[in-house]
Structure 1
Amino acid sequence: MKTVNHLKTIASLAVVLTNLGVVEAAVAGSVHKLNSPDGDITVTVNADKQVSYSINLNGQPLLAPSVIDLAIDGKPGLSSGVAVDNVSYQAHSQVLYPEVRVKSAEVVDEYKAMTVTFANGYTVEFRAYDNGVAYRFVTDFEQPVTVLNETAEFNFSTSATVYYPLEESFYSHNERSYLHQSIGEIKPTDLASTPTLVDAGSAKVLITETALRDYAGLWLLGDGKDGLKGTFPQQPTKVVDGEPEWIDRNQPVVERADYIAKTDGKRAYPWRVLAIAENDAELLTNQLTYQLAIPNKVADTSWIKPGKVAWDWYNANNLKGVDFEAGLNTETYKFYVDFASEHGIEYVILDEGWYPLGDLMGSVPGFDVPEIIAYAKERNVGIILWTTWLTLEQQFDEAMDRFAELGAVGIKPDFFQRDDQEMVNFYWKIADEAAKRHLLVDFHGAYKPAGLRRTYPNVISREGVKGLEWNKWSLDSTPEHNTTLPFIRMVAGPMDYTPGAMSNAVGPAAYEQIQYSGKAPDHADFTIRFNRPMSQTTRVHQMAMFTVFESPLQMMADSPTQYLDNPECAEFIASVPSVWDESIALNGQIGDYVTFARRSGSEWFVGAMTDEHSRKMNIDLDFLPAGRYDIVIFQDGINAHRFAEDFKKVTKTVTHRDSLTMQLAPGGGFTARITPRN
């Protein structure tokens, strides 16, 4: 793999477009090898009796031989001793230009490929990148097929550890903590969603998928040894209504078929992706899930506008100092619109409560949605409408038409909790029909990003992450969790974590560390409050999330009046872009700390976050071009370890030769805006 100077990974590089063409290889023997462009990664495919692949990194084993197969009803699989018909190789290099530039305006897509064609109508394509490996099946049958199962083994060469998002069942919001433990401790019954990260000693290997279409999602189980194996939700045959209070959104699966997909016989299947990083920071700018995704299908994307959102649900519509009763009513949302307009915030979401639950065609007394949307348009603010997936499915055509007729700019479907083939196809239907109506889509209660955002760039963000809202009912959104997410969940794609809490407290985890250091206050300040939530981090940790966490539709989760009470913080947050021309990972260690420098136009933003440990960081500014810059810095205040809302604002002039030394409090952060002078 290419070394990273000072742990910096530059996401946009100039390359010369080349296509070295296809080279046919004689089919001699059962072992075939593929190297990455830089030669550091080697994939070895063994097609003797069954098909397996292994990966070496710098000449040393990384992934032990791992069997792959696709079991199609009535067809012999690859474990039936099927002969290899042909092996071909290709080298490829080009620059991709994302319609929505999450990490960068340009993505270098450079790889070497090996295509292995078998005598039974199966083909397996492998690609080796400098930062990972991927493979997928391709079938060539005239008639539709029933896929009974897929074998996907991930066997590691040493006793590895794993960051494991343990799940109770396939019916899940995929909002998990990551359990760090020996891979041998993962039982064959321990189910995990993806992405999942394995620490193999010599490198980190992140397992996920992309180009997920007309198929079931990839999950993982342990094998009781040193490996993981893929598993897939079978097609539901019976669902039941949820509890009465959730009947408009929950539909648990109680019976399943004996297959995972019925699909076209001529098709390419999802890519199985292994992102590889010799140091943690290399994961932060890995874009393989985008590079391998199905290209854009939306002809005109000029209407797709990233931005920030004034969000209502987290803060429970709490307003103060107003002359009306705050809540689910027209006056409250006009206040949100005014706040957004005054701060240059592009959107406001109308979350749960804008329609009578169960009927997207209905209206709520005192809640004039057409009036709110018209009011917002006059102030250059777009309105996004929340909906449960089940009500949307039941009223799909008329509801989608109504969203467009109302003048909404996007929708936020929620509570899916499934990624079987049927539900995956519904995601694609929503994306397609929303694009026809020029509607953005922000999936919540959702599975991880798996390529749809490239195919339909109007799928602008997605949840599938344990985010800030968990502070309303749990202790799970810890500083350690926050500094783990960029290395795992964010590698799969944008995550709608919904940052920006202005009520901040010393959380239990940070408090324990302060106590140990002898600098503790008398008690941890954090408490669980559903309607007036707080974070378990410092104020500046929350502010830094807007640079560190990637979401082209980035929420400002707290109440407008909370932001109005903290104008310096609010104005800074509002100034942070939600998409980037360039991203540089300055440093990072999973679960401990992370620092990004990101560029939008000629401006740079820096964000750093630490776990529950206080930390001194030295940040070189040598990523800046030559010249003089004005920098606005927000850093933890001297008392942030005991009063988490304490911060210090500093303004000064810097150049690319300067460095910054910052003291981060437990659960703390640092963030800055850097603007060229003249």
Structure 2
Amino acid sequence: MSLKRNLFYSLIFSMLVLKCFSQSSTPVSVRMKNVGFTFTLNAKGVPQYAVSYSKNNAILPSSLGFKLDQNVSLTENFRLIKVDSVSVDETWKPVWGEVSQIRNHYKQLTVHLAQQGEKPILLDIVFRIFEDGVGFRYEFPAQQNLKSFIVKDEVTEFNMTGDHKTFWIPADFDSNEYKYTSSPLSQINAHKWDLISSGKIEVNIPDQYAVQTPLMMKSANGLYINIHEAALIDYSSMQLHVDRRNFKLTSSLVPDARGNKAYMRSPFKTPWRTIIVSDRATDILSSKMILNLNEPSKIENTSWIKPMKFMGVWWEMQVGRTSWNYTDQMDSLYLKGKYIPNGRHAANTENVKHYIDFAAKNGIEGLLVEGWNKGWEEWTDDKEEKFDFVTPYPDFDVQEISAYAKQNGVKMIMHNETGGGATSYERQMDTAFRFMNKYGYGSLKTGYVSGIIPRGEHHDGQWMVNHYIRSIEKAAQHHVTIDIHEPTRPTGLHRTYPNFLASEAGRGNEWNFFIDGNPPEHETILPFTRLIGGPMDYTPGVFKLRNYAPGAPDRQMHSTLAKQLALYVTMYSPLQMAADIPENYEPHMDAFKFIQDVAVDWDDTKVIAAEPGAYITIARKAKGKDDWFIGAITGEDKRKSTLSLDFLDKNKKYIATIYGDGKDADWKTNPESYEIKSVSVNRNSKLKLLLASGGGTAIHIKPIN
């Protein structure tokens, strides 16, 4: 749409909005295709909004407002000052992503309010109505009657139309790594699960009826509704309190050590509250609304930012074969001044070279090494100074390893685990990044296992939200990409900071070693929940699915081998790990070929079929190539489906290499059974897929020249 034409429609839209508000009791309504939006002030001056999809209500009239310090309540008694509106239709290109370009098309309504009284407080609410949902945020203009202030509560409501089927995890202030529960809203109980985070349940999950976002729901009449937030900066993350009787959700911000939710000064803009809605589950996964609500890249030169696949000296420690720490006898350090090695330390020069050799031979670009630096003996202790981020253990020759990796064309990935000691990490951050630059580390994985220091702060609170952003900005200054583990869940900030490649913030593949693992439906829920806000470092590609843990012979992955391959497509990330150890890949190098070939950056994505908790099928076109990759996964139930290839180019022939479950495959009894076959296909072809219980299919479609 031309700029002149766009401005014309914006003018017409503004005139209609102002006409609606000529009578204060008359609500204003805006529609973008199937999505309808209404704003009004009720008789008590309470700002309210509602959202519909087609002919169905999605969000019933819901109130907006705040409770501040000094007993200031910004919840009612507002009057309308004026309304501004604009229509935007533009296209932008991400540095990396699921598609090569993104359309940003919305109608924006800014409602300027003033609370009546002796000292009126000004509050603006900005609504953006998209074709797939609504985003809104609060803006506090610069004003005499409100300068520095504290948010005690944000009173944002989402009134649902019924007892929806809901996919949820507890609202833990310090962990997102819970199994998902599928239940009606009326049966939500955040104390159902044992506490995962370090601390006490009454401190970390004080609200028994609160859940984490992104929250995925399905109504009885077939609407899919997702609630989350976008552009979380300088604010506490939003969780949701559930009124189980009335099906009303209310924002619940993570507090700090004093119980306050956020410290602000006008002018100030909160993060966006997001509602994605459709009658098709595939539309939820295709939505780019959260990205569109974030600001464009702050990094001008992004040529150094490269997605990649990597391996790690990591899984062998997870399963207990080796250790992160160098010694098991701390007295040898504190009393004798010399480490006594335990003989199980994984991050040693010889072992790291072994991984480099395998990565170089098989075209894997990067290698992460955990446990290389001093401090792992005390990493979960409640002390501030745990790690030294530039001093390796005696058996890790950083100079020799860096030279060997460079010689073999492998990029080393730095690991900075903080053990929750954020203050210590901030003091050492400059030194740590200079160290990375010196030894050629262009990528970084950080971690925040254990309780946060400053004590009393939480992983998802305002202080830590700002800390994560400081680490991202510091990494960008040194041309380092970053992957953050144990942070708050992402909110689309990788548009603003494209060096922020991925994060964990969820129950990853590693949990298949811990306790009872991840149920087979877990990976069919995550794209509708955790991944809505950004890529996840899920660490797929484990090939030894049983008997991998010494001392735990009954433990196994809740997945087939073919599903582990399909996850590279269905679990989107520009940073994908081949998570297993080299020895476990060597018997299956025919299947490993898919990991070698699969792309990590894309020109196009087609969400072909999806149902949360049941199945997902996604096709993606590799960046700058004509190759397509398809991933299809299922939960506990076996699945038969017919896959149409009508997204392929006309008049082209292709070879499809299909990595599927074997006829006798089953995640419980025969998870490593798979079959590989190649067939000629074109856009008129249809492939019949048979997925085992907990299984999947991965497909590489390559044009015939």
TM-score band, normalised by shorter chain? 0.7 to 0.9
Does structure 1 residue 636 correspond to structure 2 residue 656?
no
Does structure 1 residue 466 correspond to structure 2 residue 487?
no
Which secondary structure does the structure 2 equivalent of 1:176 belong to? coil
CA–CA separation in structure 2 for the residues paired with 1:45 and 1:310:
54
Which secondary structure does the structure 1 equivalent of 2:352 belong to? helix
Q: How big is the shift at 1:526?
A: 9.7
Q: Which residue of 1 aligns with 2:329?
A: none
Which secondary structure does the structure 1 equivalent of 2:596 belong to? helix
Q: How big is the shift at 1:47?
A: 5.0
Q: How big is the shift at 1:75?
A: 8.9
Which letter does structure 2 place at the counterpart of 1:547? V
CA–CA separation in structure 2 for the residues paired with 1:304 and 1:192:
35
Does structure 1 residue 217 correspond to structure 2 residue 234?
no
Which letter does structure 2 place at the counterpart of 1:215? Y
Q: Which residue of 2 aligns with 1:674?
A: 701
Which letter does structure 2 place at the counterpart of 1:149? D
User: Which residue of 193, 196, 214 corresponds with 1:195?
Assistant: 214
Q: After the TM superposition, which residues 78-93 of structure 1 pair with which residues of structure 2 at under 5 Å, given as runs?
A: 78-93=74-89
Q: How big is the shift at 1:59?
A: 2.8
CA–CA separation in structure 2 for the residues paired with 1:64 and 1:434:
43
Does structure 1 residue 228 correspond to structure 2 residue 231?
no
Does structure 1 residue 45 correspond to structure 2 residue 48?
no
Q: Which residue of 2 aligns with 1:170?
A: 173
Q: How big is the shift at 1:76?
A: 5.5
Q: How big is the shift at 1:341?
A: 1.7
CA–CA separation in structure 2 for the residues paired with 1:52 and 1:89:
18
Output one character per residue of 1:509-541: Cα deviation in whole Å (capped at 9) or x when no partner.
xxxxxxxxxxxxxxxx99896799742211101
CA–CA separation in structure 1 for the residues paired with 2:554 and 2:388:
29
Q: Which residue of 2 aligns with 1:402?
A: 435
Q: How big is the shift at 1:317?
A: 8.6
CA–CA separation in structure 2 for the residues paired with 1:461 and 1:36:
34
Does structure 1 residue 55 correspond to structure 2 residue 75?
no
Which secondary structure does the structure 1 equivalent of 2:213 belong to? coil
Q: Which 5+ residue runs of structure 1 have no aligned equivalent?
A: 1-14, 237-255, 506-524
Q: Which residue of 2 aligns with 1:538?
A: 560
Q: After the TM superposition, which residues 252-401 of structure 1 pair with which residues of structure 2 at under 5 Å, given as runs?
A: 256-257=258-259, 259-316=260-317, 327-357=346-376, 358-389=387-418, 390=421, 391-401=424-434
Q: Which residue of 2 aligns with 1:557?
A: 579
Deviating more after overlay: 354-363 vs 431-440 = 354-363
CA–CA separation in structure 2 for the residues paired with 1:332 and 1:16:
59
CA contact (8 A) 2:128 2:134 kept: yes
CA–CA separation in structure 1 for the residues paired with 2:75 and 2:319:
60
CA gap of 1:30–1:302, structure 2 versus 1, over 3 A, is farther
CA gap of 1:387–1:325, structure 2 versus 1, over 3 A, is closer
CA–CA separation in structure 1 for the residues paired with 2:528 and 2:130:
19
TM-score, normalisation: structure 2: 0.84
**Structure with bigger RCO (C-alpha 8 Å, 6+ apart):** 1
Q: Which residue of 2 aligns with 1:607?
A: 631
Q: Which residue of 1 aligns with 2:181?
A: 179
Which secondary structure does the structure 2 equivalent of 1:311 belong to? strand
Output one character per residue of 1:66-99: Cα deviation in whole Å (capped at 9) or x when no partner.
1111334459654231211011222111112111
Q: Which residue of 1 aligns with 2:228?
A: 208
Q: Which residue of 2 aligns with 1:104?
A: 99
Q: How big is the shift at 1:227?
A: 1.6
Q: How big is the shift at 1:555?
A: 0.9
User: Which residue of 481, 491, 494 corresponds with 2:522?
Assistant: 481
Which secondary structure does the structure 1 equivalent of 2:39 belong to? strand
Runs of 4+ residues over 6 Å off in structure 1: 317-320, 525-533
CA–CA separation in structure 2 for the residues paired with 1:58 and 1:420:
37
Q: Which residue of 1 aligns with 2:158?
A: 154
Output one character per residue of 1:547-603: Cα deviation in whole Å (capped at 9) or x when no partner.
111111111110022222211111211211112111101111111111001101211
Q: Compute the RMSD of aligned alpha carbons.
A: 2.4
Identity %: 29
Which secondary structure does the structure 2 equivalent of 1:315 belong to? helix
Q: How big is the shift at 1:451?
A: 2.6
Number of equivalenced pairs: 619
Q: How big is the shift at 1:370?
A: 2.4
Which letter does structure 2 place at the counterpart of 1:271? W
Which letter does structure 2 place at the counterpart of 1:380? G
CA gap of 1:528–1:135, structure 2 versus 1, over 3 A, is farther
Q: Which residue of 1 aligns with 2:644?
A: 620
CA–CA separation in structure 2 for the residues paired with 1:281 and 1:580:
18
CA–CA separation in structure 2 for the residues paired with 1:75 and 1:265:
18
CA contact (8 A) 1:309 1:555 kept: yes
CA–CA separation in structure 2 for the residues paired with 1:487 and 1:42:
23
Q: Which 5+ residue runs of structure 2 have no aligned equivalent?
A: 115-120, 190-206, 322-342, 377-386, 450-457
